[in-house]
Structure 1
Amino acid sequence: MPAGDPVFEGHFPDQPIVPGAWLLDHVVEAASDAGLDGPWRLASVKFLSPVGPGEAVILSLRPASAGGLAFTLHCGEREVARGSIAALED
């Protein structure tokens, strides 16, 4: 997310961080690209460290139990979030 993005005006003005929802949108998009059929549920999510404007985020996916996917998000060596996503059951 570029440093000049308007979202940072309110999230948060004195110490801007990338919204967690924006990060999770990319997890869902990657899960779809990996073939996991939606709709999805986030089985677990932990935000470990804030992501600042302009920081590059690397997303890793790996198979998890019950056909879901586990994910980790890194900025360089720093793990910023982790969790798992699965298809929503009827």
Structure 2
Amino acid sequence: MRFSVPHDHPCLDGHFPGRPLVPGVVLLERVLEAVEAAHGPRGALGVPQVKFVQPLLPDEEAEVLLVEERVEGQAPRWRFQVLRGTTLLASGVLEEGAGG
């Protein structure tokens, strides 16, 4: 799933004055949207692992890549990467049934 965050998005107010950066929580929202687009609405999801490597600037295009991991008897998990071109911005794991 490709996305960009427009320069006038409310999340950018104060994050950071003079050099706005897309907050990590917005990247995670886009990851969740990608999971739900591929697999339908989900219940509570946890993020047991996430690493933010590079910032995303307003109006830059990024892409969410997902790999679903299913193990019999366990809740679904998705490994994800958020990329700007070939540059890794964030990576981690989402898992179902966590945080509830």
Q: How far does residue 65 in structure 1 lie from its aligned partner after superposition?
A: 5.5
- Cα distance in 1 for residues equivalent to 2:96 and 2:39: 11
By how many angstroms is 1:33 displaced?
A: 2.2
Which residue of the partner structure matches residue 72 of structure 1?
81
The answer to whether the aligner puts 1:52 opposite 2:61 as a matched pair is no
Give 2:36's match in structure 1, choosing from 32, 37, 54: 32
Which structure dedicates a bigger proportion of its chain to helix?
A: 1
| Number of matched pairs | 90
Query: Which deviates more, 28-37 or 67-76?
Result: 28-37
TM superposition shift of 1:29: 1.6
Paired AA for residue 86 in structure 2? E
Q: CA deviation at 1:70?
A: 0.4
Q: TM-score, normalised by structure 2?
A: 0.79
The answer to whether the 8 Å contact 1:32/1:38 transfers is: no
Q: Give the unaligned 5+ runs of structure 1.
A: none
Give the alignment partner of residue 26 of structure 2, picking from 12, 19, 22.
22
Q: Deviations over 1:56-88 (max 9, x none)?
A: 010000123542110000011110000010101
Q: What amino acid is aligned across from residue 62 of structure 1 in structure 2?
A: V
Fraction of identical pairs, as percent? 31
Q: 1:54 to 1:46 in 2, by over 3 A?
A: same
TM-score by length of 1: 0.86
CA RMSD of aligned residues (A): 1.8
Q: Which residue of 1 aligns with 2:97?
A: 88
